[in-house]
Amino acid sequence: MSTKTPSSADILRPLQNTSKRFYLVFAVAALAFGLFLAGWVYQLQHGLIVTGLADWGSGGGVTWGLYIGAFIWWVGIAHGGIILSAAVRLLKMDRYMPVARLAELLTIAGLSAAGFYIIVHMGRPDRMVTSILGNYHVTVHNSPLVWDVTVITLYFVMTATYLLLTLRYDVTRLREGLPNRFEPLYKLLTLGYTEKEDEVVERMVWWLALAIIIMAPLLLHGGVIPWLFALIPTMPGWFGAIQGPQFLTIALTSAISGVIILSFGFRKAYDWDHIITDDIFRGLTLWLGFFAMLFLWLQLQQLVSGGFAAPIDQSVTFDSKVTHPAYVIPMGMVGLTLAYIFAQTVRPSLFTKARAIIAAVAVLIATLVEKVYFVVAGLMYPTFGLYEATPGAYFPSLIEISSVVGTIGMVTLFFLLVAKVIPVVELHAIEHLNETREGEHDGERGGGDSEPLTETATEPEVTA
Amino acid sequence: MSTEKSDATETLEALHTNEWEAEMRALLEDGDADADLGMAMAKDAQRLVAGELTEAEFAKRYHDAVLEEFDVDDQELPAALASIEDGDGLDDAALADRLAALEDGDMDRREVMKKMGAAGMFLGLGTWATTENADGPSPPASTAGEDEDGTQYGMVIDLEKCDGCLACVVACSQENDTSMGANWMYVFTYEDDHQDGENFLVRTCQHCTDAPCEKVCPTTARHTRTEDGLVLTDYDVCIGCRYCQVACPYGVNYFQWGEPDTPQAELDPDHVYDGRDRRVDSRPPKGVMGKCTMCPSRQDGKMGEDKVGSTACADACTMDAIHFGDMNDEGSDPNEYLERVRSENPNDREHFPNRPADTVNTFRLLEELGTDPNVVFVGNEPGPNATQVDGPVAYEDIGEVDRRKEVLDDGTFAGGVSP
Ligand code: SF4
Ligand code: SF4
Ligand code: SF4
């Protein structure tokens, strides 16, 4: 751990200095996003025929593909982000406080990317408002897609509220150091702020966090998103009760990976090694391992029940899984990550930040590929498989592939811009870090309590 | 209807239990109607029974709201409401009879509500009718005629007659100007473990009564026409999310991925809009979902009176395999055909009195999924291990395309080719 003392000047640095590298990253991200936007305009002109999609059945294709897979992926990342931040507030896992706001911002950005995918995926996005909202009172009773839109919107609003509430404290106290050109925005943000509200806000945030923690598994990634698929009885690759828990584990693995990469980027860019400490990375990696284990365990459940004495349609799905590279390789990647994290708990010296990053990237790629495979395989092996053209063929077109790069660019742009307007590390985190410095181990011990079991192995490392 | 206030309260209490409310609400929410409106109506209907509300008040209160909510059904409703409105000398018994008839025994209550349009009104008036008749003679509840079921278009397709000529496929694609490979009508030739030789399966949309495609649609674009049970897509409402295609077990949906082969200008407007003036017929525009429609503009008389009750595919079938009509009508072409086939194939009941009356095998496709399909097949059902094989006539031989992806791949932007 560094000997530097965390100060509010540290967290104001992104708002005050803009390096050359910032512009470079900005340009690359903008280019990626721009390229995809161009591709999307082309798609709007020519129709979804520009994708690799086609009709399932006699058509010999699949009707949902990478767009939907990437949609799930982004919701997963978004979803886990908010869970992580809520856990910090609810379970008092104070050690992760410095990355809590990053996780919240990741939720906003991830949900935006997911929302964007819904629009990109449609044949007639221009009718979104009239057709969906206009018939909402009818369709909300039946259509899982409408549930999705509802819950995603709800989540967006809740996260934004959460973020805005916690920002008031910081903006008031750091106003001096914030760039003047956003003055009206800060005024608006802190409208009517008094110190008396801090306590109230803290309580409100606590309740919001509780609501989010409860809602997440029930409604979002353990609920309506998997239900989009799990409720379709005629696609054996999808149907069934396990999709809820399975999706949740995927969301959490990918979200933690996202936070790891994000934290690493900010730490490197702004010399925050005394704020986002090695200890945080180590802890996040352990959590990643824990959820990766659950992820693989639930996959195993499906393989066993699909491979033993399954009905015909399900055994076809099983055969595809165990032979298809788009399933086998991602599983292998998550498995290797898990193996590394296990090894790291046993031999703490194996941990390096670079390895943590590699693990995170591997998991993100694996979850994306697995998700796309999941969507596609469901449609490839329907119960009614009489069509000679099933399983259909699918390979994403260049425009579809660029959508992934484009939305990553979009999310990057979001962070680059937000970091110029508000502090992405909470003032509370700095205050807390300084308290723990004075009180030595107390705070750290408190944080360790709710870690996964594997944590005990690294306890000695925490203070290293 | 001027009862004492206390009596009214008593009657209300008797009627309005919590279970009653929960059950009504559940029923209402199952249907398409506005549940709150329905509940309000049902409650007021009880007040009406209890004498707290006059008929005229009740009718006034709901007439407009009901019309607005159920604009599609404004033929039946006004009639029902009107009979309450010009209430002087209202023949309670007659009305009660009519309502009770609607509530007839096994007839699906939800179905009735759909047809009446106003679910709440039905439930409310149902209560009324029951009370009114409590001490009178009980209504002839089970005498409702067959035609009370309403029209449900569907088909009987005789697979034993089909020879795989694909004339129906061509006829449909010409009638509807569908794009290459969008085979709304599709004919399988298949081999199966337990069946000899060539077998056929003639596949349209099954126009399911419990259509999963309609359930999942986020926009109500996919809907069932109340007047005849056809499952259609409103091309002006569909957002092209393709969830219907995902949820349909039969794979009968064909999305309009790119510009249609036939431009809008070349379509006959009478063949695009149905009798309700909704854009549901002919090939879909770009970005919208299409599938077999069972030719609604024909059924609505927009293609000429002689085409009512016919479909292009059935017309084209020289083997007399496809029979389209009202499945609820004993005398319709499909039902008569079925009857004829059955009587032509009697079982040997003289020697084996326990055998069924005929040797005709019929099935509905994947009926076990609970979609309640409205196409009945005569012949054998393909088993789970059946495999499609080349038929006597190839799609390519008749200027059609079987595997649509081959056409679509031409439009794919880099990559996307079938491996
Ligand atoms: S066959 Fe498919 S598309 Fe047709 S009504 Fe049934 S579920 Fe809908
Ligand atoms: S593609 Fe159109 S008809 Fe089908 S579910 Fe989506 S909005 Fe409804
Ligand atoms: S009923 Fe009409 S739309 Fe359906 S397959 Fe026959 S011709 Fe085509």
For A285-334, how does the pLDDT look when each residue is reduced to its tens digit (9 = 90+)? 999 999 999 999 999 999 999 999 999 999 999 999 999 999 999 999 99
- In a domain? residue B1: no
In A203-242, the residues whose Cβ lies within 8 Å of chain B are 232-235
Q: Are A378 and A229 in contact (CB under 8 A)?
A: yes
Looking at the fold, whether B162 and B107 belong to one and the same domain comes out as no
Which tokens belong to B249?
């077990």
Q: What is the DSSP string of A344-378?
A: HHHSGGG--HHHHHHHHHHHHHHHHHHHHHHHHHH
Looking at the fold, whether B206 and B69 belong to one and the same domain comes out as no
Determine, for residues A60 and B237 on separate chains, whether the beta-carbon distance falls below 8 Å: no
Query: How confident is the model at residue B392, as a pLDDT?
Result: 95
Residue B140 pLDDT > 80: no
Looking at the fold, whether B179 and B301 belong to one and the same domain comes out as yes
Q: pLDDT per residue over A371-397, tens digit each?
A: 999 999 999 999 999 999 989 999 999
**3-state SS assignment for residue B154:** strand
Consecutive H or E run containing B55? helix B55-69
Gyration radius (Cα) of chain A, Å: 23
**Measured distance between the N- and C-terminal CA atoms of chain A, rounded to whole angstroms:** 7
Query: Of B36, B45, B282, which Cα lies nearest the Cα of B182?
Result: B282
| CA–CA distance, A244 with A141 (Å, rounded to integer) | 20
Looking at the fold, whether B105 and B238 belong to one and the same domain comes out as no
Calculate how far, in angstroms, residue B291's C-alpha sits from the geometric centre of ligand 3: 9
Angle A424-A428-A433 from CA coordinates, rounded to 5°: 100
Query: How far from the centroid of its chain's Cα atoms is residue B315's Cα?
Result: 22
CB neighbour class for A73 (10 Å; exposed up to 12, middle 13-18, buried from 19): buried
Interface contact A124, partner B, CB < 8 A:
yes
CATH number at residue B341: 3.30.70.20
Looking at the fold, whether B99 and B233 belong to one and the same domain comes out as no
Calculate how far, in angstroms, residue B213's C-alpha sits from the geometric centre of ligand 1: 6
Calculate how far, in angstroms, residue A128's C-alpha sits from the geometric centre of ligand 2: 11
- In a domain? residue B2: no
Residue B294 pLDDT > 90: yes
Interface contact A354, partner B, CB < 8 A:
no
| CA–CA distance, B42 with B128 (Å, rounded to integer) | 10
Interface contact B182, partner A, CB < 8 A:
yes
Q: pLDDT per residue over A35-59, tens digit each?
A: 999 999 999 999 999 999 999 999 9
- In a domain? residue A145: yes
**3-state SS assignment for residue B203:** strand
Looking at the fold, whether B134 and B269 belong to one and the same domain comes out as no
ipTM for this prediction: 0.90
Q: Which domain holds residue A340?
A: 8-434
Confidence class of residue B104 from pLDDT cuts 50, 70 and 90? very low
- In a domain? residue B229: yes
Q: Are B132 and B96 in contact (CB under 8 A)?
A: yes
| CA–CA distance, A156 with B115 (Å, rounded to integer) | 40
Q: In B70-141, which ranges are continuous DSSP H helix?
A: 76-85, 92-102, 109-116, 119-132
Count of domains forming chain B: 2
pTM for the full predicted model:
0.81
Q: Which atom of ligand 3 is nearest to the CA of B184?
A: 5
Looking at the fold, whether B64 and B45 belong to one and the same domain comes out as no
Q: Which atom of ligand 1 is nearest to the CA of B206?
A: 1
Q: Which domain holds residue B209?
A: 7-50+152-414
Q: Using alpha carbons, list the distances in angstroms from residue A320 to A53, A201, A301, B101.
A: 19, 52, 16, 54
Interface contact A397, partner B, CB < 8 A:
yes
Averaged pLDDT for residues B96-114: 46
Of B129, B149, B169, which residue constitutes the final position of a domain?
B149
CATH number at residue A161: 1.20.1630.10
Query: How confident is the model at residue B195, as a pLDDT?
Result: 80
Q: Which atom of ligand 2 is nearest to the CA of B253?
A: 4
CB neighbour class for B363 (10 Å; exposed up to 12, middle 13-18, buried from 19): middle
Q: Which residue of A has its CA nearest to B388?
A: A388
Of B90, B119, B149, which residue constitutes the final position of a domain?
B149
Ligand 2 pocket, residue B222 CB under 6 Å:
yes
| CA–CA distance, B285 with B297 (Å, rounded to integer) | 17
- Cα four-point dihedral sign B112, B115, B119, B123: negative
Mean pLDDT of chain B: 78
Residues of A in contact with B418 (CB under 8 A): 60, 393, 395
Looking at the fold, whether B94 and B144 belong to one and the same domain comes out as yes
- In a domain? residue B419: no
Residues of B in contact with A146 (CB under 8 A): 218
Exposure of A19 in the CB half-sphere (CA atoms within 13 A): 11
Query: How confident is the model at residue B214, as a pLDDT?
Result: 97
Query: How far from the centroid of its chain's Cα atoms is residue B48's Cα?
Result: 34
Count of domains forming chain A: 1
Residues of A in contact with B218 (CB under 8 A): 131-132, 139, 143, 145-146, 149
